Structure 1
Amino acid sequence: MIPESPSTFRALLESDHVTARTRAVMAARAKPVSGAPRALSAEGLERLRALLDGVLPQGDLFGDARIDLAERIDARLAGPGDGWRFAILPPDAIAYEQALATLDAAGRDSFGAGLPALDAAARDRLIARLAEGTISGLLDGAQMQRWFSDLRADAVQEFMAHPAVQGAFGISAVATGGDREIQGFEEIGADRRERWEAGL
């Protein structure tokens, strides 16, 4: 089940406070990414999905609904990227594949199961070891730590870009003005909202 934006956020998107271009971008972001893996192997995508359940849990915000962050990250990895990466890491798609294989092997060694089959407690212990830099394999401990930093940044970026998340948090940054005029924001103080933000 895919989460939907609250009705107040959908109304904001349809208002004259949002440009048609922004509205189209947000509509595209709301759609699930479909199809076969683009940059990762099928196993890598399955491992990433299992890992992200522990790195960025969504249950408190959406209940049983989920944004498939793994598919969104995979789609980004298949694109041109921003040209930035840690010098000690291979190119992004390779780093992801190798890091996920390393974690899967660590799960088998420590808990007798690969990453997708681990229960939440074992997965969380593996994540703690990843953060400490004590897991190595195809990538060494320092590389795994740097990759984990990239993963968290990628996950948060994809999560916060989704209109259901922006709506749930009452983020109205998309409302810079309509197609005819830039309306912007006048209320800039802490805890101050524009009149048209009242429902968010």
Structure 2
Amino acid sequence: MTLMDAARNGKILKEFSQVAEAEGLSVERILAGLRSGRIVIVRNVVRVGVEPLGIGEGLRVKINANIGSSPEVEDLEYEVEKAKTAVKYGADTVMDLSTGGDLDNIRRRILEEVKVPIGTVPIYQAGIEAARKSKLLVDMTEDDILKVIEKHGKDGVDFMTIHAGITRETVERLQKIGRVAGIVSRGGAFLASWILRHEREN
């Protein structure tokens, strides 16, 4: 059962009470936000020592810090240090946007070392792994992305960006209007390229 399922069924879980207390709100207010989809609670049950965090309408503003390696700078300890520094200076969440080096090892170390919710963008890893195998990022398959999402979840990732809003219709509209900057989201560009290459839906 998901947290949203529990909220919709009127079941009060400890995560709801913890978020309500942290936010200075009633549990009923948190439940209402969860039911409507205007509040989410990020926390993967696999991780130990990480408090559930409420994000959404009527809650305090949260600070997210983006970190991550690149093909040019692949330094595991540096990424862990960046994540710890971000939390030290107030980040509520950290996103690992790594695209270079041993992506699994980087993510797992950050999850182990940093005790705030950690997010990822699974399409980065799926695309990069496909490119490493075939030299073309767009050769990733549906199974590739789903396997990466599953792996991240099993590792303990608390939230993910999945670019659900990038659809065939969106890509067609973007092509017609001729944007000056094109798609400025790396993951969105990965997915749009895949859609164009395969002429398939997201």
Same fold (TM over 0.5): no
Coarse TM-score class (shorter-chain normalised): under 0.3
For the pair shown, which has the larger CA radius of gyration, 1 or 2?
A: 1
TM-score by length of 1: 0.22
Which structure has more RCO (C-alpha within 8 Å, separation ≥ 6)?
A: 1
Structure with the higher strand share, 1 or 2: 2
Say which structure is richer in helix.
1
